[in-house]
Structure 1
């Protein structure tokens, strides 16, 4: 290994080559930050908040200091449907309710994973990976489907946000501390020769402790409730003694088995037209398996456009932190000109960014519109879940170029798939390692 010498540093300094022009830029960057100094006004002008195909979706919700974007995005697609059906405005489903059951199920999923790996070395990559983050806020579409099928959904008025649901770091810290404690106990019991039945009994007691923690921090989920609302015409409605399942069936009415995940992961190890899943990734044991169909970007975008044209919004996953600005609400690779500022190039392709950990799916949002020119998209309307103080009252505009580079997943009704794509989706999925980039979860706050 070779150290950096003083001579090397002198050569580096000579290479900076401060001219009158780039000194002004350097000073601007130091004073205003790289994004503030390199903001491309032309990109702002190009990203117009007008779309040829657009679905009215109302007021944007706010996940606050939590990583529940995937839950918010999915429930947004449900409430869009409900708002139109019931003629109600700015209605929300309970994100806290879904969070409660997700936390409990992820805790069980983690403990079952620990039981499954009792003979794996503690210092090995798999157990180390499991212990790094026993559970967290993030998730995927198929995980949401598993929760809805098992627990249904409820209106927000029935189980509103708690302090800790909107500000989750302390909740996650407490749960993960307890789960690592449980993992130690289970592995120690196994080393002491305790039976499988004894370990399962202890695991259930551990889940009782987790349930208690969740009740104290999030509240207790309702078993039955009354649903009351007044529509836009002022007419009052009440239905009593609903369960979370009957509410979903009557007021949302979606067959979630009809909706599937389409991804674009152009790495060499993931062939187009193949399906994939990820080991040790999920929440509900025996719930819906995570399954992705890998396609090229033109196909992915075409499927999303078809669903938007039919008046239905689209859950999608992307790497939201790249070339994005919360204030102006724009997602565009041309938004900041880093290369001109530094006089250097960033050369990685989309596939190489995935392979080299430079990018991954970090955030779920909703596509609510697209602007088509001669049938081709040039920008998309995006409903975020960061409240109304960002973007255009919470909405973002995304360039088609940004979608090509940083969007990885859409969830669409399978009726839009061609016969060939249906056959491809019906294949048994190839298993990916837990640390594969397609195993990343949407959780950006």
Structure 2
């Protein structure tokens, strides 16, 4: 016999069931291309629905329609208690399942190898699995490996600087303005260009729909040329929806690269192919070689940008602190150079660890100054990434110099 408590429990289960169905519909629209995952999500709902049907029948009868069997009051009470226990257990189980549905998120699989050549083989094997076409993928690489433009070294020192200049938002050129005048044929390929890089403007043409289900770097570059679209930025855009991300070691080991790409390893899956090689990559990431000439170049660029007071009011205190810090490094170079022994045309000096640390502290560039340096570098380089045009005269080389120095000193 169904009691008032039973009806309340049934109503609560029905409400939870409808809530879970709504959540599943949301998940189905979100987790596209992953039927195996949705199958797993649907299992507890089907199981609970089957248990409800077994317990009460497909159509729930009213109290008046329930036949009264010849049972004793004690047997009836035991039967109702058993049903209540089963109902309560189902409610708690269902609450747990629905809370898991609300909080669940799919982890991203980061598969990393030492070289892109090794990634080619991994992608080839991925192509043969049942997951190919169901799990979206992308492959990350540097501009040096994936930029389709040729570097003009008379204008830029690196492809990073070239890319930053070419992807700035540009106004219509005089030629495009002329093409829009009456009597002049219109040229959409020029006049509609958003930046000075046609590949960057077309980057969204290169996506999971226009690429094969599994692709390596060569496939990405080939299709980039075919669609006149940028492989570098397309791969980064596809990472937002990718379930599997293939990349070299340094994309996960180097904090500078991780931060620039907003890669989060927490609660995700990391697979390191030939993990014995990663020790060398970690050592390389924590090592930074630079010359006094590179240091002076960074100081020069900071001096230039500091002259634009109005454009960088909020960042000026950071710039001034970085100028002071790099000037201290230059002083350290001068002081230590005087102590070097000259053998032929080579000057050499080897420090003991304690002596080296003390020499840094003497020039105010040691561990006591690191946290302030780290904070200033973080904000400066973030501005350089997000709004490079506001930092007039600063190249990507200076940003890389500051971040590499920060990484090494932070170890």
Alignment TM-score, normalising by the size of structure 2: 0.23
Q: Whose Rg is larger?
A: 2
Higher relative contact order (CA 8 A, sep 6+): 1
Between structures 1 and 2, the one with greater helix share = 2
TM-score, normalised by the number of residues in structure 1: 0.21
